[in-house]
Structure 1
């Protein structure tokens, strides 16, 4: 697994802490020295207390904790991460009256709420669209919302997508992109279909009907899954990529949680959900054979998929293109990047300062550890460095 720059910073900080501890412990018998030391300590404590009311340190990164409140929303794929991160940031900065709130609503809705000025930023599982859809060009709408300044796509969270299932007696299952496409096209309807049997030699599959579920709302997760199927199984998946999943069979559910709940409550259920939701619902998680052998979904295998991602945005707009087909052995291919979509400039001054400070916190070692413990994969160091540079360029 790639060691991110932030992990390196954490290691250096830890070494520094140990070094400082090792240097302590000198004693003195002089009363005057003791008095002087006590006076100095009191002065230092007072200074520290005053400084803490204005700022906080997170893993060596100084946060300014500006007073105010900002609201973000959108992607449910990053909701678990954002609830943890906003809670931690708000706790660090509560003395200053800093408050950051994130509400999941789906990527499409989040972008709309952002450019309609109901939010200060949007979370989305796909970058802003530069071409019109239903008469709307997202980049243009966001630019208008930002007072004529560009909107930037900042990739902050990497989330694996699981093809989850509920099938008694089947602990391990492998699917291919062609199988997934054919399930949603209504061409594979039972679990013992010959295509599934061929992908799972030695596994006894029941003659039970498959109950497919998908996102009913506009979703960046759906868009990423359609991109994957379009790239990896073009003969089987002939629809266009879209935030609205083009299933010919099955049942749509609202949000990731809705899909996970439906699979859990339905014998024979199948669907795509973010990995953490599948884990929390105790669903079966399929391995994926992208042509180089079955690959189990793990943080390490998913992280490898980011190594071939390319930046297709310009300047500090860091939109990425993932490689979904022809992945090497050992790479779990169905991952997506969640972007924080922000105004490069143009927010209210206080809101802009708080937005920048919170995003800075998201790059600290503490935040990176939180993300990884919640089932998210790390950004490659090269991308993480560009994200930090972009955050510091926000105005």
Structure 2
């Protein structure tokens, strides 16, 4: 397929992707009470070989030929990286510092239990064809699976907390802070696994050292260096084209830096967002970038994930048993550990249950990790499909469980905004 043909097809692909994502998103919002992002996750699977490829294989093959996936991949990485930058813009650092102790305890629990469960399951799962690549050892399988179970749908977590009006409550602050700490730890583990499979210990040290150094710069140094952006915005009275261009250049360099050390562009985007000056500047940057990012770019990521999801490969009892075991372990280990850690940190039953329900969602972050694992040859299509299903199921569970365990109780006490 020539470059011209790819260009023509790309426009058609985007038209279909955006239309289907908006339609499915509107459906789940109206009839299931779920966020738009949940509908887009489902839409991605609908457009892939599991649904469209099953119903109309010729259409799916013509619309998404193998050659075009490289183009979609680039758009997908840009979309998810820029989206995480926007999430970072809304992250409240003051609230994070206020709840750092409890958040660290919950984050530790939300990681320790999943990694323990993954270590117990890894030897069994390695014996099942279609899950892990042959070159993956027991320790690597346990670490990757542990990270996949431990990850939190941080962007969706932020959206649910905002929509429920609990952004400045104890539960909202603790959930966001715990999710940020836990996801950072999970990313480091994934980076170590990738490095151990890709060329030696020096790559693992580069990933860990580079990630920690970048985080230090963004947390300690960058806020002071970026502060003049707010002053420049105040003088100009708006985020003009030059200022917006500077912000995008900084985002691209941050994404490049994290990819270069072996972690992922999303980590660079998120940390840069947290370092940006707050107030009118951040609000206007977000207002300018968010519609295009969420409506145009991010659906490419969900569709790219869906194109790699082949539910038909889970076609025997061994894989079905593995799917059920991973789903059950993911829910019990992550949700249960978060609940227990919150209780041990002194929080009441309703708050702890609310934290467990919210932290149990995997969503977008799960899809990012398993896409990386599939592309780098850590996991195979069978495990990828199982983990996509786990991500969708646990994300669908988040809002109803939160409402059941915390929402009604909070309204009765007057602690949850209507």
Larger RCO, structure (CA 8 Å, separation 6 or more): 2
- Structure with the bigger percentage of helix: 2
Q: Name the TM-score, length of structure 2 as normaliser.
A: 0.23
- Structure with the bigger percentage of strand: 1
Q: Name the TM-score, length of structure 1 as normaliser.
A: 0.24
Pair member with larger Rg: 1
